[in-house]
A and B are shown apart, each in its own frame.
Chain A
Amino acid sequence: MDDLVNEFLIESHENLDQLDRNLVQLEEDPENRELLASIFRTIHTIKGTCGFLGFNRLESVTHVGENLLSKLRDGEVRLNPEVTSGLLHMVDAVREMLSVIENEQNDGAEEYADLKVELTRLLEAEAAGAAAAASGAAEEPQKESTPTQAEPEKEAAPCGQQATASEPVQEPAAEQTEAEVPAAAAPRGETGSANTPRPQNASIADTSIRVDVHLLDRLMNLVGELVLSRNQILQHLSGVELPALHATSQRLNHITSELQEGVMKTRMQPVGNIWNKFPRVVRDLARGCGKQVRIEMEGKNTELDKTLIEAIKDPLTHLVRNSVDHGIESPEIRKAAGKHPEGVLSLVAYHEGGMVIIEVGDDGGGLDGERIRDKAIERGLITEESAERMSGKELQNLIFRPGFSTAKQVTNVSGRGVGMDVVKTNIERIGGSVDLDSTMGQGTTVRVKIPLTLAIIPALIVSCAGERFAVPQVSLLELVRLQGEDARKGIERISDAPVFRLRGKLLPIVYLDEELGLRKAGEPREDEKINIVVLQADSQHFGLVVDQINDSEEIVVKPLSRQLKAIAQYAGATIMGDGRVALILDVMGMAQKANVISKLRDQALIDMARAAAEEDLDLESVLVFRLGSGRMSMKLSQVKRLEEIELASVEKVGGVEVVQYRGDIMTLVRPDEILSERRREPREVEGAGSAREGLLHVVVYTTSCGHDVGLVVDEIVDIVETNLEETRQATREGVGGVIVIKERVTEMLDVDHLLEMGQVRFVETTMA
């Protein structure tokens, strides 16, 4: 397409977004001349440019709009909801025409006669009314001469003739006939600011340029490669004694990291770019269903990758529409409930732990658990029996199930069955998650958590049949390893489908080698050990059996070529540290291909099987470990992860042992030193200098206030299932009880109490 036209389209789209926002703002603050001037300018620019480019129809529509706007600006017409709607309709029409231009290179055949008539009618009707009102106020109009001010188009110009085509886009201010325009009821106070040019406008234009996204993608690729090369150089250098080379490589290291950061930043965009559309959406919607909604935004400048911005646009819009349509009640109901008739829709965005959190909240009626349950049963999503066992939270989460919609009536906005499940799927597709928090009568908040960027993700590297594969960390729940007897008997079958009892619940099992056709399905296996990667796809858990679990790594995601996109099991490929390519598994695709999802949609059957499994096994998994000479245990559900940490990586901060863990600082606690009776010889401090070899076994525990603590134990002994009802009274502090595990009396650690006893302090980490 013509570059000029292209540029025009990009610019106009941006301007229209701005226009939507300004118009809605203007409705709240009708006297704001600055806003009005900006709106006028935008429409005028579009009109001028399309005249120049020969898009006559588009020009004629904008022309009528511009006439109305100039009357507004001059105070001859007063702004009311009707006028705003008229103008918004015009914006819509312009948008439609722009997309026609984009597709067909001309502005189409549609004349928008109705719209023009409507705008002209508004113009005349309002002008008559306002003129009468204005005659009272003997206020002289201020001569407006903002530098970028456009020509007022007083005379009814013909619709896009040759004459306009040769006109410059913006006429010099001197040509303005502004002063001749009679009587305007514009308040003086506002005009002052309109006359002051805003200097930052110029500076923004001067210091930024447009860059093609593909170029950025290429740069991103190259930087990814540079990072790999650097890693290889650093590896080779480890055995070389050349100080100068080391210094240089260190600089290379720093520069590369900074470059990577910089290039990633260029792709970042503020989330405000999508939010800007919402005031308009909310306004139209609220008017449509007779509600009053105020929109509040916080953290507009929170940035995330451009591709993610695109990807979350639709899900977020859906959430916003949902909040207005279902969440916020009509003014009458709100008044009756003692609330302000105007509902509040809040949008909040912030960074947390390398992720971006976006919350869409309303102060509406909240989710009605009862209604959701009835609906879910009616739709056959759950059985009455399983509904009985569901907690309020679980009931609320049912709205994410496919085929669910709570709207009592189907409106044109929502309630058509395509709903929250699509939102959830779309967010999960980009590695995010959706969480719901709702209180009856007080409102609902949906929290969307998404990664900062898609280009680099943390992944678990696994091997299977001699090949390496990357599993995105976001879908990873836990790792289970079965050995010996457990490996031979641990996996059972329900009519051919392998399952594993994970803490008493049935976990469907998928063998990666069979799934990838590297081994014939159903062939008998005689594994001495089994590695199960427990994954989550679409709220369904399943276990992926792999040969080996290697490591977790940050990987640069690269797309697959066209020929390979059809294979649903792969999400992309990446280049490993050794330069070889590894495929990235698509957990969702894998689950679908392996029928994990559809099979388990047959919830009723699974619920029954699960209930049966739970009944005869009222057991809980308990982690048993060795501390000194004795054994201790804790509930496995309290354990976040089990880690092996290099002794050399333990640091001391103010007498507290800490270790860097997943981008955070984790305090290490030695339970045996706190439990005085087991105090051993004072341990030699693994401080600076004494680089001791070896690994620490660490049980990661998350405290009630959200801190991760590493409990150092001497050895992980086992994970067993046991009936905790047989727990007996504890005999000392820091111990919650005593149970018999495999014929040995074992104490259960009360971790929270233990931490209190040890007066464990945490190193506060602040987000940059």
Chain B
Amino acid sequence: MAERRQFCTFMLGEHFFGVEVTRVQEVLRYQEMTRIPLAAETLPGLINLRGQIVTAVDLRSRMDMEPFAPDATPMNVVIKTGDGMISLLVDEIRDVHEMDEERFERVPETVSGVARELLEGAYKLDGSLLLILDVDRTLQFEAQDA
């Protein structure tokens, strides 16, 4: 039997994204944030998750997409990392999906820009693609605007 991986999925704009479940601590509705002056716009704030301070990462900004609407209430995909937790801000959380490895394909050469850098690949679904995020690369960036 082919190896099957599970993904926690979410929407960002029109795109359907997935992060491997083993990297996800939990998903949360919109949380109030404390903004961080001087930090890049990719780092919109800090969240109190049961006494742990979690840094939020604006995934739209990170993916070079249109910013969230000013009144948006993005949801949180909390990721475990080597030093503490990071929350990815996304439009909407979807289900956990189990994927057939046969459907996986690396990002084609023709894709350029941030997407190429941050995506591990995609699963071909009926009528759509599940884009798999490379979490570690997504969380590697400079904190301050140059």
Residues of A in contact with B (beta carbons under 8 Å apart): 221-222, 224-225, 228, 465, 467, 516-518, 558-567, 569-570, 573, 575, 579-583
The residues in B between 5 and 49 inclusive whose CB is less than 8 angstroms from any CB of A are 32-39, 43, 45-48
Instruction: Encode contact with A along B104-135: 1 for CB under 8 Å, 0 otherwise.
Output: 00000000000000000000000000000000
Q: Is B103 an interface residue (CB 8 A)?
A: no
| With A561-B84, A563-B141: A222-B51 Cβ-Cβ less than 8 Å | yes
Tell me whether A517 and B34 are in contact (CB under 8 A): no
B39 A564 Cβ-Cβ under 8 A: yes
Q: Which residues does chain A contribute within 8 Å of B32, judged by CB atoms?
A: 580
Task: Please determine whether A569 and B84 come into contact, CB atoms closer than 8 angstroms.
Answer: no
B35 A467 Cβ-Cβ under 8 A? yes
Distance to closest chain B CB from A521 (angstroms): 13
Contact A517–B143 (Cβ < 8 Å): no
| B51/A224 in contact, CB under 8 A | yes
Q: Out of B34, B37, B55, B142, name the residue touching A516 (CB < 8 Å).
A: B37
Given A561-B86, A567-B36, A580-B34, 14 further pairs, Cβ under 8 A: A221-B52, A225-B50, A467-B35, A517-B37, A559-B84, A561-B55, A561-B81, A564-B143, A566-B144, A567-B39, A580-B32, A581-B46, A581-B47, A582-B34
User: Quick one: which of A564, A580, A582 contacts B43, CB cutoff 8 A?
Assistant: A564
Q: Which residue of A lies closest to B51 (CB)?
A: A225
Listed from nearest, the 3 A-B pairs whose CB atoms lie closest are A225-B51, A516-B37, A581-B34
Closest CB of chain A to B105's CB: distance in Å? Answer: 31
Please classify the interface of chain A as helix (H, G, I), strand (E, B), loop, or mixed, using the class held by over half of its residues: mixed
A583-B36 contact in complex given A562-B83, A566-B142, A566-B143, C-beta closer than 8 Å: yes
Q: A561-B83, A561-B86, A563-B55 are in contact. Are A581 and B48 (CB under 8 A)?
A: yes
Task: Assess whether B37 is in contact with A581, with CB atoms less than 8 Å apart.
Answer: no
Bound CA–CA A570/B33 (angstroms): 17
Least Cβ–Cβ distance between B142 and chain A, in angstroms: 7
Given A221-B51, A228-B51, A579-B48, A467–B34 Cβ distance below 8 Å?
yes
Query: Which B-chain residue is minimally distant from A225 (CB atoms)?
Result: B51
| A558: nearest chain-B partner, CB-CB | B53
Q: Does B139 contact A (CB under 8 A)?
A: yes
A583, B93: Cα distance in complex, Å: 29
* Bound Cα distance from A467 to B43, whole angstroms: 16
Task: Find chain A residues with CB under 8 A from B144 CB.
Answer: 566-567
Chain B residue, CB-CB nearest to A469: B37
Contact B37 A467 (CB under 8 A): yes
List residues of chain B with CB within 8 A of the CB of A567: 36, 38-39, 143-144
Contacts of B53 in A (CB 8 A): 558, 560-561, 573, 575, 581
Residues of B within 8 A of A225 (CB): 50-51
Task: Offer 22 A-B interface pairs, CB within 8 angstroms, sorted by A.
Answer: A221-B51, A225-B51, A465-B37, A467-B34, A518-B37, A558-B52, A561-B86, A562-B81, A562-B83, A563-B39, A563-B55, A564-B36, A564-B143, A567-B36, A567-B143, A570-B36, A573-B34, A579-B48, A580-B48, A581-B34, A581-B46, A581-B48
